[in-house]
Amino acid sequence: MSAEVDMIAASAASAYGTWELVVGLEVHTELATATKLFSASPNRFGDEPNTNIDPVTLGLPGALPVLNRHAVELAMRIGLALNCRIQACSFHRKNYFYPDMPKAYQISQYDVPLNIDGWLDLPDGTRLGIERAHLEEDTGKSTHVGGVGGRIHGSGGSLIDFNRAGVPLVEIVGRPDIRTSEQARQYVNELRAILVAVGASDAKMEEGSMRVDANVSVHRPGEPFGTRCEIKNLNSVRSLGRAIDFEARRQIDLIEAGERVRQETRHWDEGDGTTHTLRSKEDADDYRYFLEPDLVPLVPDEAWIESVRAALPMLPAARRTRLAQATGAAADGEAIAVVVERGQDDYVLAVAAAGGDPARALVHVKEAYAEQGSLPAVPAADLAALTTMETGGQLTATQAKQVLADLVADGGGDPVAIAGAKGFEAMDAATLETLVDDAVAANAGAWAKFQGGEDKAIGALVGAVMKASRGQADGGAVTALLRARRG
Amino acid sequence: MTSEVADTASAIAADVRTGKRTAAAVLDAHLAAIDAREGEIHAFNLVMSDDARAAAGAVDAAVAGGRDPGPLAGVPVALKDNMCTRGVPTTCSSRILDGWRPPYDATVVERLRAAGAVFVGKTNLDEFAMGSSTENSAFGPTRNPHDTSRVPGGSSGGSAAAVAAGFASVALGSDTGGSIRQPAALCGVVGVKPTYGVVSRYGLVAFASSLDQIGPFATTVADAALVVEVIGGHDPADSTSIPRPAPAITATLRDGVEGLRVGRITDLPEGADPDVLARIDAAFDALCDAGAKVVDVECPAFTYGLTAYYLIAPAEASSNLARYDGVRYGLRVPAADTNAMYMATRESGFGDEVKRRIMLGTYALSAGYYDAYYGKALKVRRLIADDFARAYQHADVLLTPASPTVAFPIGEKTDNPLAMYLCDTYTIPANLSGDPGMTVPFGTGADGLPVGVQVLAPTLGEPTMFRVAQALEDAMQGGRG
């Protein structure tokens, strides 16, 4: 977490004043299956419109759904990664008319979902409840042409692409445990990391493969929760934070002005940074849920659940802890977060296993491996050799950086040879002593101030040594020598 | 009356397979029967003469080439027009599917074709299978071949009439509340609703998904058994299909009924005409003569079935029929915006009975009414299944009328939906429980019109049910009815 984000969070928290914010997030994520939830058409983003379709996808008369086993498995992975209980469950029909909804009902899960009662821990240890994570099918995609703001109302016509219709989704319903917009952002980031880690989804908010709706309310601590509004059209983690803060302020202002918050669905407008009424509770559809008679109950047996559990990879939180323990860095610090998110933690551990210094390896990977992905080209042994040279005082930090840049650019190499080619030679103690002697003699004024207790005067002395050594002296060693000499 | 072409599917297939007759000749005889009487009966929405000739030619070519076309080689089959046929209009007798040609075949169509069947046409029905007389068709009513002033029953009236008139050797219908068994009774043919899940529903245009089941019409019990064996068995495309092979029925068809317990329901709701009840009594007697025992059983399912059905079936229908919105296929009535287009299309595309059931079902599922209507109906459905389970502890099969009356005059009940709904009192409970049931013609009642006996059996009890039906058929043919 950067300092900037910290400040935003702090200012938002104080902006709530005596009010407490309550947020629950509903996250829809598209599953990374080869085919759709109930048919054999490909589940693929970006294809020519209406090419990944079939009688089931189009809801043609007589077509029937058949549940995709792999989708169930991915949904179970999500449930297990979120510490949910997996249960025997069923599918319902959610009935409403919309042109991109081919059957005029969505097959979803209603009172008995696949995954219930789990939780997600934020990197700082805050535990946020998960109510449920259920399977459902996506709708098609409408493009309204000739209207205002891409809405159906007032548009001249609509184009419908059914490629997305029937794509498997898992809706993850969080409990209203979030208290700041920063927590909401962290929740989504952590959830996304988990979804990617378990291979359930690519979870890209910008492509719509992960969609977040926020239920926001405010109340005074100790009093019942306030009336909530659901905010839609949140296309990035940044929008999510902005929208929550705006909505909290809007509701607080309403209440403080003696008005009431109306329960409604609101649309986030990225352009003007505000939320607008989409529809009020009174306009809500009656979905007439009933058990989907074309499907049978889904009853995952223990053996199946356990095989899915056994195949789960290590989750981001555990990987952060593991890397923190190996490197001595803070588990909720930036370096650990960045390296684990890039999937480079195994690499750092491999550097350590090859005899390298884990702490230095972590910093190098974080700083220099942004473009390297989870399988960096530089052999772990090469980076290990570099950190060993640093530890042994054979390279200064500045020199190490230059050698590292070459390693990354060339996809590996022998750091000793690279350092040699660059003329980076280890400076023995006697040479360093001589350089320090010269620097003290040549900068008598600075030396006097330093001796007199003016610590910052050491800068000029170190600088002189570095200059004389053409940057090859180890700044730390020079500082240590000067301090020792002062006594 | 029935045409002289009415030879059995078994006989046709045997002749065609051995080269004694050609499929083309068999087809010509049936097309001639259609030419002669279809004008007055209107069994078909579409007669597929050209496709049928091509299919018959292919069957004959297979035989000539030494290949076996299958157990239904050259058998002319009529399909209720709510089963999808690739490239051939499938209308459900509704204007809302105007112009729609399915891009795929129903599983039953694939299986029949693979068995050598020749499709002669798509038959008329009550719109979306909602009705008991085939009068609720957007294309006009079908008439009963036994008396063209009367209805053939419904909703599969076209299929029942086609078999009764000799237009097809066998036909497929769908049965949601009696839509095969009741028209079979009124037209004097055999009609079977198999156990729910025995026959795939893939490609059957849904009315009420948890109740719909496809089954055959035939002139003999043996032919009906043959068709169930061809179309039955697990289909991975239908999740509610039972994961077992088709039931083996033919092998034990003539094993007799010696020692079987035939249940007489003591609390059967009144309302059946005396001429019908007299034939049911005769059926019990015939089975006794054949060695069966008659036992009295209670089964309140028949008293409560109708009301539960008229909540559950419309509820599912309201959802199943929501897709006919003018967006993707079929009728579209242009209007100012999308909602107006939906309303104009559905207003113009659906008939009165379909609208009535959509409204009933929508209401039954609505927030605030769900528990009182749909929810309660589901509980009654559960109890009905329990009723049958108890009854089948004492009886191997149950015998009831298939219809309270013989065929009634066209127009008699069209202004009285409730009177029409009562036609299905005896057939509906087996749809709610999912158990099999079939109608066997058993003589005539008032005005010399056919009466059908309904034989009911527990889940997957088809072999026993068919043995009883065969015994009744044998009794009639032996003059012992």
Residue B288 CA to residue B276 CA, distance in Å, equals: 19
Query: Catalytic residue at B80?
Result: yes
- pLDDT for the residue A431: 81
- Contact check, Cβ <8 Å, A295/B239: yes
- Contact check, Cβ <8 Å, B323/A103: yes
Residues 38-77 of A with CB under 8 A from B: 55, 58-67
- Contact check, Cβ <8 Å, A286/B104: no
Contacts of B344 (CB under 8 A, 6+ apart): B326, B333, B334, B335
- Contact check, Cβ <8 Å, B202/A58: no
Contacts of B236 in chain A (CB under 8 A): 66
The nearest CA of chain A is from the CA of B194 a distance in Å of 18
Residue B69 CA to residue B4 CA, distance in Å, equals: 25
Token pair 């559960």: residue: B382
Nearest residue of B to residue A284 by CA position?
Answer: B367
CA B392 vs CA A159, B162, B256, B291, B461: distances in Å: 56, 34, 19, 19, 11
The nearest CA of chain B is from the CA of A66 a distance in Å of 6
Contacts of B319 in chain A (CB under 8 A): 93, 95, 104-105, 288, 290
Burial (CB < 10 A; 0-12, 13-18, 19+), residue B465, is buried
pLDDT-based confidence at residue A14 (cuts at 50, 70, 90): low
Query: Catalytic residue at B366?
Result: no
Mutate which of B319, B337, B343, B378 to disrupt the A interface (most A C-beta within 10 Å)? Answer: B319
CA B8 vs CA A172, A240, B12, B436: distances in Å: 59, 71, 6, 23
Of B322, B365, B367, the CB nearest to A104: B322
* Strands B118-123 vs B44-47: parallel, antiparallel or unpaired: antiparallel
- pLDDT for the residue A486: 82
- Contact check, Cβ <8 Å, B365/A290: yes
How far is C-alpha B347 from the chain's CA centre? Answer: 28
Cβ atoms A85, A148 nearer than 8 A: no
- Contact check, Cβ <8 Å, A93/B239: no
Statement: residue A315 has pLDDT above 80: yes
Condensed to tens digits (0 to 9), the pLDDT of residues A161-179 reads: 999 999 999 999 999 999 9
- Contact check, Cβ <8 Å, A58/B327: no
Provide the 8-state DSSP code for A344: -
Condensed to tens digits (0 to 9), the pLDDT of residues A201-221 reads: 999 998 889 999 999 999 999
pTM of the model as a whole: 0.90
pLDDT-based confidence at residue A155 (cuts at 50, 70, 90): low
The nearest CA of chain A is from the CA of B240 a distance in Å of 6
Provide the 8-state DSSP code for A471: T
Residue among B132, B155, B156, B200 flagged as catalytic: B155
Of B210, B239, B319, the CB nearest to A64: B239
- Contact check, Cβ <8 Å, B327/A55: no
The nearest CA of chain A is from the CA of B85 a distance in Å of 11
pLDDT-based confidence at residue A8 (cuts at 50, 70, 90): very low
Question: Of B467, B408, B400, B478, which Cα lies nearest the Cα of B439?
Answer: B400
Residue B469 CA to residue B327 CA, distance in Å, equals: 47
Cβ atoms A464, A443 nearer than 8 A: yes
Of A105, A288, A296, the CB nearest to B240: A296
Mutate which of A93, A160, A283, A288 to disrupt the B interface (most B C-beta within 10 Å)? Answer: A288
Condensed to tens digits (0 to 9), the pLDDT of residues B415-469 reads: 999 999 999 999 999 999 999 999 999 999 999 999 999 999 999 999 999 999 9
Nearest residue of A to residue B197 by CA position?
Answer: A294
- Contact check, Cβ <8 Å, A61/B209: no
CA B35 vs CA A15, A344, B360: distances in Å: 85, 79, 41
Residue B173 CA to residue B184 CA, distance in Å, equals: 10
Percentage of chain A lying above the pLDDT 90 cut: 72
Provide the 8-state DSSP code for A104: S
Angle at B197 between CA B194 and CA B201, to 5 degrees: 95
Number of A–B residue contacts, CB under 8 Å: 99
Q: Is A123 helix (H, G, I), strand (E, B) or coil?
A: coil
- pLDDT for the residue A154: 65
Statement: residue B475 has pLDDT above 90: yes
Statement: residue B41 has pLDDT above 60: yes
Residue among B159, B169, B179, B200 flagged as catalytic: B179
Condensed to tens digits (0 to 9), the pLDDT of residues A113-128 reads: 999 999 999 988 999 9
Mean pLDDT of chain B: 96
Phi, psi (rounded to 5 degrees) for A267: -105, 125
- Contact check, Cβ <8 Å, B106/A62: yes
Average pLDDT over residues B286-313: 97
Nearest residue of B to residue A59 by CA position?
Answer: B323
- pLDDT for the residue B13: 97
Quote the tokens at residue B471: 């015994």
- Contact check, Cβ <8 Å, B104/A60: yes
- pLDDT for the residue A1: 40
- pLDDT for the residue A151: 62
Statement: residue B1 has pLDDT above 50: no
- Contact check, Cβ <8 Å, B367/A295: no
Contacts of A159 in chain B (CB under 8 A): none
Query: Computed over its alpha carbons, how large is the radius of gyration of chain B?
Result: 21
Residue B95 CA to residue B333 CA, distance in Å, equals: 11
A121 touches chain B (CB under 8 A): no
Provide the 8-state DSSP code for B95: G
Contacts of B374 in chain A (CB under 8 A): 290
- pLDDT for the residue A352: 95
Angle at B279 between CA B216 and CA B191, to 5 degrees: 5
How far is C-alpha B344 from the chain's CA centre? Answer: 32
Condensed to tens digits (0 to 9), the pLDDT of residues B176-223 reads: 999 999 999 999 999 999 999 999 999 999 999 999 999 999 999 999
CA A481 vs CA A116, A356, A439, A457: distances in Å: 62, 27, 12, 15
Question: Is the complex ipTM more than 0.85?
Answer: yes
Statement: residue B341 has pLDDT above 60: yes
Mean pLDDT of chain A: 91
Query: Catalytic residue at B155?
Result: yes
Statement: residue A282 has pLDDT above 90: no
Quote the tokens at residue A367: 């700083």
Percentage of chain A lying above the pLDDT 70 cut: 94
Q: Which H or E run contains A464?
A: helix A458-468
Mutate which of B109, B207, B323 to disrupt the A interface (most A C-beta within 10 Å)? Answer: B323
Residue B199 CA to residue B228 CA, distance in Å, equals: 8
Residue A151 CA to residue A138 CA, distance in Å, equals: 19
Average pLDDT over residues B278-288: 98
- pLDDT for the residue B307: 95
> HSE of A155 in the Cβ direction (CA atoms, 13 Å)?
14
- Contact check, Cβ <8 Å, B205/A61: yes
Q: Is B309 helix (H, G, I), strand (E, B) or coil?
A: helix
Of B201, B206, B239, the CB nearest to A66: B239
- pLDDT for the residue B3: 38
Contacts of B328 in chain A (CB under 8 A): 58-59, 102
Statement: residue A196 has pLDDT above 80: yes
Statement: residue A10 has pLDDT above 60: no
A1 touches chain B (CB under 8 A): no
Statement: residue A9 has pLDDT above 70: no
Contacts of A289 in chain B (CB under 8 A): 365
The nearest CA of chain B is from the CA of A296 a distance in Å of 6
Q: Is B283 helix (H, G, I), strand (E, B) or coil?
A: helix
- Contact check, Cβ <8 Å, A102/B328: yes
Provide the 8-state DSSP code for A313: P
CA A22 vs CA A175, A176, A183, A251, B41: distances in Å: 10, 6, 11, 12, 70
Cβ atoms B105, B203 nearer than 8 A: yes
